[in-house]
Structure 1
Amino acid sequence: MSTSPVQPVLYLVVCAAPPARQIDEFIKLMMDDGWIVCVIATPTAATWIDRKIIAEQTGYPVRCEFRRPDDVDPLPKADAVVVAPATFNTINKWATGISDNLALGILNEALGLGLPILASPYAKSTLTQHPAYARHVELLTGAGVTFTHSEAIRPHTNDQPFLWHLIQRALEEILRPPVPG
């Protein structure tokens, strides 16, 4: 009797930045690549996305609120985490260990679990020049988070879609086993 391989689970943490409005495109890309995708949205991002459509697309509810202690978690355990778009606010709070919303709580726990984490910042250059930002990216990188460059998914022109394939490729890179040397 053969058993089919278990699909890996991706927690996709979505923050409130323009790419969030087309997050369904990234979800489709990852699902086509064999991932089960579970979306966790920051409180503001939850108002920017169509939670019902994303739940239908993924088969899982979009989580944005803490569950009660006696509630069963409706999501399977994650194998990897992607934060896209990752806002200036979320990156700075995450680096300081703040868990004042579910998305940050998930990110802080993922660090503690040692899960592979990819963050794709989407922040204005005026914000990324803030001295706290560089320190916080460095701190999170030291804790094992891999970052794309800021606004890596921004299209070259406004009439093009976001460059979600760059995040997909970056995730493949961090999940690739090291070549024995």
Structure 2
Amino acid sequence: MSLVTTKDTHLDNIIASYMDETSVELSAFELKMKERIKTAFSLLLNWRSREQAANVMMEQFEVSQATAYRDISRALIIYGDINKAGKEGHRYIIMEYNHKLLQLATKEKNLEQMGRALDRYMKLADLDKEENRVNLEKLAAMDITVNISKSSEKAIAGMLQGGVVDLNNFEAEDTEFEEVKDAEE
């Protein structure tokens, strides 16, 4: 069976252009497609449904409904589906909208709305929570007692006379143990 290779698709070239603009030269058709894809994603970011985005695309770029929906699908392939974004992705989008609300409130000189927007921002950025402090008591020096057999003690003492204790090259066997919990836990 032989391997058949084909030319890169327009979408492959556009994706490659995002990775490294100098790696591929886009054709005029691909440049137009890239612009439509950017617009499609921008419409989705502005909380337009796919149907609404397709209608805007059909009107703005004079493309068919099928092409508009293909461009929307390509945008989701390149940029990702914002509806499936993780918690951090949603947080970022909400923070951007909150920033827009802050700008509007500032423009209208509405101090109450400005304060609310800043409070929401602090909450979204977790600035209202106390940072986890390190418990220095747990890092304090502690005595650890290890019981070893006489033969192991002799082997370690012999290694110490040589200057190096190599525990990776040491005949040892695993033994059963029980983890002891602190009273605080």
Q: What TM-score results when the alignment is normalised by the length of structure 1?
A: 0.26
Whichever structure has more strand as a proportion of its residues is 1
Whichever structure has more helix as a proportion of its residues is 2
Higher-Rg structure is 2
Q: Which has the higher contact order (CA 8 A, sep 6+)?
A: 1
Q: What TM-score results when the alignment is normalised by the length of structure 2?
A: 0.26
